[in-house]
Amino acid sequence: MKNFCTISNRVSNVPTYAIFGEFDPVLNEKVVRIKKKVENLIGEQQYLADPPHCTFYLGLLDGYEKWAGKLSSLTLDLSEELFRINLISWGTFFKDSVTGNNTLFCSVDTETKTRLFLLQALIIETVNPYRTKEFNGRYKPCLEKLNVDQRENLKQYGFPYVGNEWLPHVTIASIDPARYDEVYSKIRDECPTGKGIITTISIYEIQDAETLHHLKYIYRNPDYE
């Protein structure tokens, strides 16, 4: 599948980075299987070719070596329990404020949310001193659709989905609304539910409107190396 991201071109010379949590082979394959089924049904869609992941942060950051090193050090002291994840059901962001499409995702249980909220807070606390005053261009067209707290997060962190404004999830694709019902009717009973573990925290650079370039694993569970 071609790599496809709905991310605008850089608004400055400072790179855009995404920090993802990626999964153990069993959970990863469950999500990949559904992504492939969606592609076979309706072809390429936004986010469809992205690796299965949970997005902790996406924004413009300077001083890559410094903040990446600090994140690596941070994860060494974290309990493996913090990385456990449980997918429970389908969810959809209808008329997604960023893409304008219907974004189909797998939701997580309450206990997973609590753990991921803590992980996100630790990650953002580490990288926020290195962010620029600008934010990624993907958010400019949808500023009016963001609520007050999301706009404040964008101002403070360069990312609108922080803390209570973040819904941890695993995206399948952002689907053309005209094709959404067709897809959902075929996979309604095939949500890749189940428990797994975030085995890696990865850094990707968003190089242009369509390319995710993997840079580094800042955390790798030794049982899955």
The DSSP string of 92-138 is: EETT-TTTSSEEEEEEE-HHHHHHHHHHHHHHHHHHGGGB-SS--GG
Strand partners, 21: 54, 201
| Alpha-carbon span 199 to 214, nearest angstrom | 16
Give the torsion through C-alpha atoms of 134, 138, 144, 147, to 10 deg.
-80
At 185 the three-state DSSP class reads helix
Instruction: Specify the pLDDT at position 153.
Output: 95
pTM of the predicted model as reported, rounded to 2 decimal places: 0.90
The helix/strand count (H/E) of the chain reads as 5, 7
Q: How many CA atoms lie within 13 A of 100 on its CB side?
A: 9
DSSP 165: G
Task: Indicate the Cα dihedral angle 28, 64, 223, 47, nearest 10°.
Answer: 0
> What's the pLDDT score for residue 93?
97
Q: What is the pLDDT of residue 162?
A: 97
Distance CA 184, CA 189 (A): 9
Query: What does pLDDT average to over the chain?
Result: 90
How many other CB atoms are found less than 10 A from the CB of residue 168? 22
pLDDT for the residue numbered 209? 57
Using 50, 70 and 90 to split pLDDT, how confident is the model at 10?
Answer: very low
> What's the mean pLDDT in 9-21?
76
Question: Cβ(137)–Cβ(11) under 8 Å?
Answer: yes
User: Tens of pLDDT along 32-74?
Assistant: 999 999 999 999 999 999 999 999 999 999 999 999 999 999 9
What domains are defined for the chain?
16-224 (3.90.1140.10)
- Helix segments in the chain, DSSP class H: 25-42, 64-76, 110-127, 148-157, 177-187
Is residue 199 within 8 Å of residue 222, measured between CB atoms?
no
Q: Residue 59 and residue 136: Cα distance in Å, rounded?
A: 6
